[in-house]
């Protein structure tokens, strides 16, 4: 096999293969699918068989179930970790014929196929591992002609790593330590652990950085917060295991050397790296400025003068009513069924999410229009609690959205009489991220 790729939507997993030489005869391609992502083909796990005719490009799709040689399941790879050249020892049970498509190219070198998530018996987008074999008959495993793996020879995988690591901060340091509040989220489709490391530039380097989980989610560094350790024994302090879409709120507590002077600055870059894929990482920047003449009575890394300016939230140095690191999203431990966006208050080109969006606890009245399907805009009329001063301030648009969602913004920009937009969310005990992507609003939760 020369090339393999995959993608998916809510209904199907799609696969593309390219081989080195064309064959006009019928060849069978077998996609062994490890649906629970444990590297073992277990009893009943699905196998997609593609009956590929190189002469006319037809591709018949059939479903089989795996019968392992070992009752506990057969590994997808050999003892050296290779799928390439390794034949799975189990047999197959025919389940059903799925469909016939024309998935082969005219050259006979390329082929596309698909299998529904319902036939896999997995949720759309779930991580899968797979092994690919080819044969000239359905008599397996004895008639397997070739076994193929991913680059490097191992088993294939649809798992991927991604993360949100937010956000850049700056503080005045008075005492020997200063803490910065951050949120780390696993945006991949596999469980992952993220390792922390740091570098610094400027007038001084930190003595060390300790990381504490904000155990009570109050945005304040206190005695209840638990220090993080090296949970996977790879010599890096880490986040601990995070499920897909799982998040951890944490403090980076930076120790400052004693030989610093007023106005010294240190730019500390903290890197969070995926353990699943070390090529996936993100950086944030914490900037420390020394001012030993200031007062920090409670030792939280904010001067007393700053706290007088920002009110009761000691980690709200930008006065946006949310803790530091939260200026680009709202967070809550409550059920948030709706966000209300008011475009009269702030223009899209310069909006601050914490000002333009508010948490609206009740559903808008849509009795006149019925329920709001996914992605469909509905107009609404009624007396809203949030008034913006226009004569039509009780008129609005409403969307039911899934995450992530990028609002095309066309309705609001062309209809000033309806300046309000309700986003109805399926969200409980979640964090809502409000950002801009190519000048448009992006909502992730």
pLDDT in tens, 121-143: 999 999 999 999 999 889 899 88
Q: Which has more pLDDT, 61 or 323?
A: 61
Over range 54-75, report the average pLDDT: 95
Closest CA to 193 of 233, 240, 127, 249: 240
pLDDT of residue 429: 52
Answer whether residue 301 shows pLDDT above 80.
no
**pLDDT, tens digit, 9 for 90 and up, residues 370-412:** 444 444 445 555 444 444 444 444 455 566 666 666 666 654 5
pLDDT of residue 167: 80
Asked if residue 148 and residue 25 are part of one domain, the reply reads yes
Over range 286-310, report the average pLDDT: 66
- Which residues lie below 8 Å from residue 223, measured CB to CB, with a gap of 6+? none
Asked if residue 174 and residue 312 are part of one domain, the reply reads yes
pLDDT of residue 327: 29
Closest CA to 177 of 284, 93, 253: 253
Residue 273 within a domain: yes
Asked if residue 305 and residue 174 are part of one domain, the reply reads yes
Where residue 74 falls among pLDDT bands split at 50, 70, 90? very high
pLDDT of residue 430: 57
Asked if residue 335 and residue 388 are part of one domain, the reply reads yes
Least confident piece of the model among 23-37, 305-319, 412-426? 305-319
Residue 203 within a domain: yes
Least confident piece of the model among 258-267, 351-360, 413-422? 351-360
**CATH number of the domain residue 195 falls in:** 2.60.40.10
pLDDT of residue 432: 65
Pairing of strands 420-425, 395-401: parallel
Over range 183-191, report the average pLDDT: 93
Asked if residue 293 and residue 239 are part of one domain, the reply reads yes
pLDDT of residue 149: 82
Asked if residue 199 and residue 137 are part of one domain, the reply reads no
Asked if residue 294 and residue 351 are part of one domain, the reply reads no
Residue 105 within a domain: yes
Answer with the one of 263, 286, 319 that is the final residue of a domain: 319
Answer with the one of 94, 126, 157 that is the final residue of a domain: 157
Over range 289-304, report the average pLDDT: 67
Answer whether residue 413 shows pLDDT above 70.
no
Query: Based on C-alpha coordinates, what's the Rg of the chain?
Result: 28
In this prediction the pTM is: 0.68
**pLDDT, tens digit, 9 for 90 and up, residues 173-182:** 887 899 999 9
Answer with the one of 130, 157, 184 that is the final residue of a domain: 157
Tell me the H-state helices in 98-236.
Answer: 117-120
Asked if residue 243 and residue 212 are part of one domain, the reply reads yes
**pLDDT, tens digit, 9 for 90 and up, residues 24-38:** 677 899 999 999 999
Asked if residue 168 and residue 75 are part of one domain, the reply reads no
DSSP code string of 306-328: HHHHHTT-TT-TT-SSS-TT-TT
Least confident piece of the model among 64-73, 316-325, 427-436? 316-325
pLDDT of residue 3: 85
% of the chain beyond a pLDDT of 90: 49
CB 398 within 8 A of CB 364: yes
pLDDT of residue 2: 79
pLDDT of residue 55: 80
262 burial (CB, 10 Å; 0-12 / 13-18 / 19+) is exposed
Bridge partners of 407? 441
Which domain, by its residues, includes 75? 3-157
List the beta strands (DSSP E) in 35-176. 40-41, 46-53, 59-67, 74-75, 91-101, 110-116, 129-135, 144-148, 156-157, 163-166, 169-173
pLDDT of residue 281: 97
Answer whether residue 265 shows pLDDT above 80.
yes
Asked if residue 174 and residue 295 are part of one domain, the reply reads yes
Residue 324 within a domain: no
pLDDT of residue 174: 80
Is it true that the peptide bond before 404 is cis, omega within 30 degrees of 0?
yes
pLDDT of residue 299: 57
Least confident piece of the model among 125-129, 285-289, 370-374, 425-429? 370-374
Residue 146's Cα: distance from chain center in Å?
35
pLDDT of residue 132: 94
Asked if residue 167 and residue 310 are part of one domain, the reply reads yes
User: Taking all residues of the chain, what is their mean pLDDT, rounded to a whole number?
Assistant: 79
What total number of domains does the chain contain?
A: 3
Asked if residue 209 and residue 251 are part of one domain, the reply reads yes
Over range 84-102, report the average pLDDT: 96
Residue 325 within a domain: no
Where residue 325 falls among pLDDT bands split at 50, 70, 90? very low
Residue 388 within a domain: yes
pLDDT of residue 434: 62
Sheet arrangement for strand 163-166: 163-166, 177-186, 247-255, 208-213, 226-227
Residue 363 within a domain: yes
């Amino acid at each position: 096999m020369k090339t393999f790729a995959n993608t998916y939507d809510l209904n199907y997993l799609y696969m593309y293969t390219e081989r080195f030489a064309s064959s006009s005869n019928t060849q069978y391609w077998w996609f062994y699918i490890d649906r629970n992502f444990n590297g073992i083909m277990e009893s009943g796990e699905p196998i997609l068989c593609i009956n590929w005719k190189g002469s006319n490009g037809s591709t018949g799709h059939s479903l089989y179930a795996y019968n392992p040689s070992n009752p506990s399941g057969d590994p997808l790879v050999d003892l050296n970790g290779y799928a390439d050249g390794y034949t799975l020892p189990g047999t197959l049970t025919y389940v059903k014929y799925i469909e016939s498509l024309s998935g082969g190219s005219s050259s006979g070198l390329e082929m596309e196929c698909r299998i529904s998530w319902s036939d896999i018996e997995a949720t759309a987008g779930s991580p899968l591992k797979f092994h690919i074999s080819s044969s000239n008959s359905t008599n397996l495993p004895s008639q397997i002609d070739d076994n193929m793996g991913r680059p490097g020879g191992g088993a294939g995988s649809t798992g991927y790593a991604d993360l949100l690591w937010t956000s850049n901060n700056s503080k005045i340091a008075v005492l020997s330590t200063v803490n910065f509040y951050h949120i780390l989220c696993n945006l991949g489709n596999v469980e992952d652990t993220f390792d922390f490391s740091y570098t610094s530039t400027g007038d001084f380097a930190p003595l060390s950085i300790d990381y504490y989980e904000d155990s009570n989610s109050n945005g304040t560094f206190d005695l209840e917060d638990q220090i993080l350790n090296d949970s996977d024994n790879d010599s890096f302090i880490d986040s601990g295991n995070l499920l897909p879409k799982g998040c951890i709120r944490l403090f980076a507590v930076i120790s400052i050397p004693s030989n610093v002077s007023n106005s010294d600055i240190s730019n500390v870059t903290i890197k969070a790296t995926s353990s699943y894929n070390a090529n996936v990482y993100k950086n944030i920047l914490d900037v420390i400025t020394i001012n030993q003449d200031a007062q920090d009575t409670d030792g939280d890394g904010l001067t007393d003068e700053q706290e007088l300016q920002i009110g009761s939230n000691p980690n709200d140095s930008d006065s946006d009513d949310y803790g530091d690191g939260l200026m680009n999203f709202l967070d809550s431990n409550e059920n948030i069924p709706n966000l209300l966006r008011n475009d009269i208050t702030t223009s899209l080109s310069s909006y601050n999410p914490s000002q333009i969006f508010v948490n609206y606890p009740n559903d808008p009245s849509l009795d006149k229009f019925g329920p709001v399907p996914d992605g469909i805009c509905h107009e609404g009329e009624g007396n809203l609690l949030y008034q913006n001063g226009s004569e039509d301030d009780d008129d609005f648009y409403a969307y039911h959205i899934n995450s992530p969602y990028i609002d095309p913004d066309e309705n609001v920009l062309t209809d000033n009489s309806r300046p309000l937009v309700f986003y109805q969310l399926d969200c409980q005990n979640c964090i809502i991220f409000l950002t801009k992507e190519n000048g448009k609003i992006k909502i992730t939760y």
